[in-house]
Chains A and B, each alone.
Chain A
Amino acid sequence: MNQLVATRAWLRRNLFSDLFSGMATLLLLAAAVYWLPGLIDWMLLQAVFKADAGACQAVNHAGACWGVVAEKYRFILFGRYPHAEQWRPLLATALLLLVIVASGLRLSSRRSLLAAWALALPAFFMLTGGGSFGLTPVGSDQWGGLPLTLLLATMGMLMAFPLAIAVALGRQSRLPLLRGLCTLYVELVRGVPLISVLFLASFLFPIVLPQGVSIDVLLRVQAGIVLFAAAYLSETIRGGLQSIPAGQHDAAAALGLGRWQAMRWIILPQALRAVIPSMMNSAVSVFKDTSLVTVVSLYELTGSLSLALAGDAEWRSFHLEGYLFIGLIYWTGCYAMSRFSRGFESRVDAGGTAI
């Protein structure tokens, strides 16, 4: 009996608290009854899961053609990387993901995590690029798909981070010229779209390099992403630096610490910790932004999907299923990152330090 009363109270509070709420509930339920069966029908009941183009075409979009994923998943996930060697980027990606997740969840001590990073990054390049340990060399023009997305995002964040700290400190410098230059850089980059920075990296970097020196397009685009991400990240870090009360500077000075010592041991650790959630947002943006490199002909996840489907008359009408598939991959990555940052925020709110 009590159960019933409690349920009724819950329903009242959450679904029928007033006229508007009640109407919204009824309307949303009606919409669900109207739309959901069709959606389930399309996604599951009438869907084709086999890699059979004929069966997909026979269904004629009444059901989803997940067969396109079954047929093309290796091309979508690895781009033009040689088929027989795809275990290498797979292993490299798994290693890198493992280190990223272990760092996010703090599964191990700081020292062993640093060691893991120091091993995982060279291992990624060695496995994917080949050329040593009897692995056939694979040029970076053939890298693609998920490993490329992950590489661009991870290296983008890792290299943007020190640059962003330097720029944030530069904006607090006592040298007006340095302050001005750092401000100019940040405002310039934040004012323009990423695509223009990628055009810059792809078309202009080759012209400003001395003759005989050529950097491949992957590295140039990576540099563009780093420069772009660092501008946003440095604003975040600057916010963190400004949030540290002046008393901290004074106390450090009173203890006899120099400016740089105080920065290294007192101010920066607190400032960075304060902005970890915002930095995670930057990481989410960088991860999503890597999809733009397809515009300058690097075939990461989004680009390799187009590459896989556009030229194939049998499968090209099932792009939507392909988009949903890689959308799910992006979504999982971004959602995990934003959950991490929210969890971190609540831990900080719950009391004191979280690390």
Chain B
Amino acid sequence: MSSQGRQNLALQAALAAGLLALLWWLLDVTAANMAERGIRSGFDFLRDPAGFAIGESLLPFDSADSTLWALAAGLANTLRVGLPAIVISTLLGTLIGLGRLSTNLLLRALCAGYVEALRNVPLLLQLLAWYFVVTDLLPLASEALQLAPHVFLSKSGLSLPWFGGDGGLFDLPLRGEMGIAGGAALTPEFLALLLGLSLYTAAYVAETVRAGIQSVPRGQSDAALALGLTRVQLFRLVLLPQALRSIIPPLTNQHLSLTKNASLAVAIGYPDLVSVANTTLNQTGRAAECIALIMAVYLILSLLAAWLSAWLEHRSGRWAQRT
């Protein structure tokens, strides 16, 4: 073994020993602290009844159900707000990003204004503001705004026609003296979070899309126009396939940030994973376990997203070659 190799090995052994010592010391201190404060550890609390209610849940949940099921309901709620927000922010963001490249000065200015306004204010503040607008400034349910036939918006949220009901294919919400009955109701918490996340992330998506399209050399557009392609053809056949390659990786990052930002739900009382874990933490005192669970779930989501992104990149590369 060379002297360099021996030196490296010694350095790493020292590093490992130092780390182990630090870890052992931390665990020792933690164990002593926990013993003194009477904190128990372990994940057995997951099987105990949760003992708290969840405001709204996609999964059927009752306070007698286990804590693990409560956390699962929280994760389902995270995805319930995250997935639609991803779709809305991507569509809206793409439109705004294209708007920023428009030949029309007004449209360009409007889209630039949107991006600058939304991106430079903390998301938490925007969520609080949306939540306040929905719960305080909208009319009472009995005087709900009618946005479209059978679509009502009020302090109690948004009511939409939904499948099912007694009398037919659709269950239609109706406005009465006592508020709104029937249909599917979206709570104010869900609405504020969906709106806040979608609009905020759209600003970032817009910048990603704009940068991606601008990354295609200008000569490509000139050449395509010289060949007689229309602007739509130019966009669909020349710009988009090339731009997608540089758009997809940062776009996946935006979607991932959105999912992580959904944890701000805790500030407005939407029962997402982090809110439920926070409630569990306060009730059981198992801080380390609850935080570890939050982190583990998000890490798994990140890994899944990275894998999906790589697959999409691969696909878009093939698509670009084919067209």
Q: Could you tell me which A residues sit within 8 Å of B by CB distance?
A: 13-15, 17-18, 20-21, 24-25, 28-29, 61, 174-178, 181, 188, 190-196, 199-200, 203-204, 206-211, 284, 288-289, 291-292, 294-295, 302, 306, 317, 319-320, 323-324, 326-327, 330-331, 334-335, 338
Contacts and interface: CB of A to CB of B under 8 A. Distances in A.
A317 B124 CA distance: 19
Contact of A14 (B104, B266, B299): B104
B150 interface: no
B279 to A, nearest CB: 12
20 contacts: A21-B103, A25-B107, A174-B8, A188-B299, A192-B298, A193-B263, A193-B294, A196-B263, A204-B287, A204-B288, A207-B34, A207-B37, A208-B26, A288-B120, A288-B121, A302-B122, A302-B128, A327-B126, A330-B125, A334-B119
B288 A295 contact: no
A60 to B, nearest CB: 11
B267 A199 contact: no
Given A177-B12, A211-B36, A294-B267, A323 B129 contact: yes
Given A15-B105, A177-B15, A320-B137, A338 B129 contact: no
Contacts of A176: 12
B146 interface: no
Nearest to B39: A207
A161 B25 CA distance: 28
Nearest to B26: A208
Contacts of A29: 106
B87 interface: no
Given A21-B102, A24-B106, A302 B124 contact: yes
Interface of B: 8, 11-12, 15-16, 19, 26, 29-30, 32-34, 36-37, 39, 102-107, 110, 116-117, 119-126, 128-129, 132-133, 136-137, 260-261, 263-264, 266-267, 274, 278, 281, 287-288, 290-291, 294-295, 298-299, 302-303
A195 B11 contact: no
Nearest to B299: A191
Given A199-B278, A327-B129, A191 B302 contact: yes
B197 to A, nearest CB: 13
Contact of A292 (B264, B278, B287, B303): B264
Contacts of B281: 199, 203
A295 B267 contact: yes
A335 B120 contact: yes
Contacts of A330: 120-122, 125
A327 B121 contact: yes
A203 B287 CA distance: 6
A195 to B, nearest CB: 5
A295 B266 contact: yes
B274 A289 contact: no
Contact of A211 (B32, B132, B267, B291): B32
A334 B8 contact: no
B52 to A, nearest CB: 18
A196 B259 CA distance: 13
Nearest to B4: A174
A294 B124 contact: yes
Contacts of B126: 327
Contact of B291 (A200, A292, A326, A334): A200
A178 B104 contact: no
Contacts of A207: 30, 33-34, 37, 39, 287-288
A195 B266 contact: yes
B103 to A, nearest CB: 5
A291 B105 contact: no
A193 B111 CA distance: 29
Contacts of A292: 124, 264
A320 B125 CA distance: 10
Given A193-B260, A194-B260, A306-B128, 9 more contacts: A15-B104, A29-B106, A191-B295, A196-B298, A204-B287, A204-B288, A330-B125, A335-B120, A338-B120
Nearest to B118: A331
- For A195, A209, A317, the residue with the greatest tally of chain B CB atoms inside 10 Å of its CB is A195
A298 B99 CA distance: 40
Nearest to A174: B8
Contacts of A284: 120
B122 A288 contact: yes
A79 B51 CA distance: 35
A14 B105 CA distance: 5
